Amino acid sequence: MRTQVGIVGAGPAGLMLSHLLHLRGIESIILECRGRQYIEERVRAGVLEQGTVDLMIETGVGERLQREGLRHDGVWFSFGGRRHRINMAELTGGRAITVYAQHEVVKDLVQARLAAGGQIVFEVDDLSVHDLDSPLPKIRYRKDGVAHELVCDFIAGCDGFHGVSRSSVPAGVIAAYERVYPFAWLGILAEAAPTSEELVYTYHQRGFALFSMRSPGVTRLYLQCTPDEDLSAWPDDRVWEELCARMRTEDGWAPAAGPVIQKGVTGMRSFVIEPMQFGRLFLAGDAAHIVPPTGAKGLNLAISDVRVLARALEAFYQSGRHDLLDQYSTKCLRRVWKVQRFSWWMTSMLHLFPGDDGFDHRRQLAELDYITSSRAGMAALAENYAGLPLD
């Protein structure tokens, strides 16, 4: 088999890249180890920056997003028993976030690719990438027990943190920068109507908590826990008791309880590789970087990566230019590190760390007081949270 761009992974990065390439007349084939049902039902975060929303609408995959997505013009920070709202739209000239689950983004992109005749090969086995520094790199895999080889001009590794793409780069070529946080999030999905129309980030002496939602009838809530937390020690009643203890404010606000339909523990880490390319392999999304979920940036950063890559590939196929491809990593990493800084800052400001004392507690409260009372502080947070403008 032969194609122009072979894409490993049918997550948001791989699917969006294939969609953008199609709009530019560039062929691609996506190879995915999981089945279609799995990727369309796998529940992940769902906060979209303004730039991600705009790109989906501009490229024709935003119809359902516009109809079902929950636009938030502001975000709440709760500490000391009180909630404080930051009006992102007012501070950023109309930019906001939209709550729209990642698996819904995946559904929209899969449907668009298949409707346009795009090739997505699901449930492949033994996938490997080869000859990455040659003019014709290859992807080998098995489908239904039959071996295949896909010859490409370029390969996009969009197969996540544990995928084969990054690990196929020769040793010593890329450097990894990582920080693992000493806590995790215990998250639940509950059949309960949201009691706030916007997200609420809570700093509390018992630990961080976050109120979010997925739809008018479903809430998504998180609380800080240990990385090795035993879920069996957290029956539903205890989860709700702890969430309310951390989130309830002086005016009586608290999340509404309801049947828990999903429960899990999410680890926290920051991770970046440099460079994000080797030969004719280009890494995007979680294959190249991971951010802690506090800033809600993972999916958005992946979309930013492939937007840059699609433009570089378009320049190559239209005029033979190599410069944008050569600059891919440098251009992406400039944004990646800004997002890492913001996500680290949000995480450090809102969570309890082992060994913290009264000084640390008061420092965090002072930081929260500043960003919720200073227009400059609020504007900086709003600009980063709604998403830095795409270049």
DSSP character at residue 49: -
Secondary structure of residue 291 in the 3-state scheme = coil
In one-letter notation, the amino acid at residue 128 is S
Angle formed at CA 282 by CA 41 and CA 332, multiple of 5 degrees: 90
Of 237, 295, 306, 311, the C-alpha closest to 30 is: 306
d(CA 342, CA 281): 28
**Strands (DSSP E) found in 104-144:** 119-121, 125-130, 138-143
What are the φ/ψ torsions at residue 273 (nearest 5 degrees)? -110, 150
In this structure, the dihedral spanned by the alpha carbons of residues 82, 88, 90 and 94, taken in order and rounded to 10 degrees, is: -150
d(CA 53, CA 69): 10
Q: How remote is the C-alpha of 183 from its chain's centroid?
A: 19
| Burial profile 119-136: b = 16 or more Cβ within 10 angstroms, e = fewer | bbbbebeebebebbeeee
The total number of residues written for the chain in this structure: 391
Instruction: Take residue 215 and report the two structure tokens written for it.
Output: 């739809």
d(CA 141, CA 138): 10
d(CA 30, CA 47): 25
d(CA 366, CA 339): 23
Beta strand 28-31 with 119-121 is parallel
Instruction: Take residue 271 and report the two structure tokens written for it.
Output: 């991770």
Strand-by-strand arrangement of the 125-130 sheet: 125-130, 138-143, 146-151
d(CA 32, CA 29): 10
d(CA 12, CA 322): 26
Could you list the active site residues? 72, 201, 293, 297, 385
d(CA 269, CA 131): 31
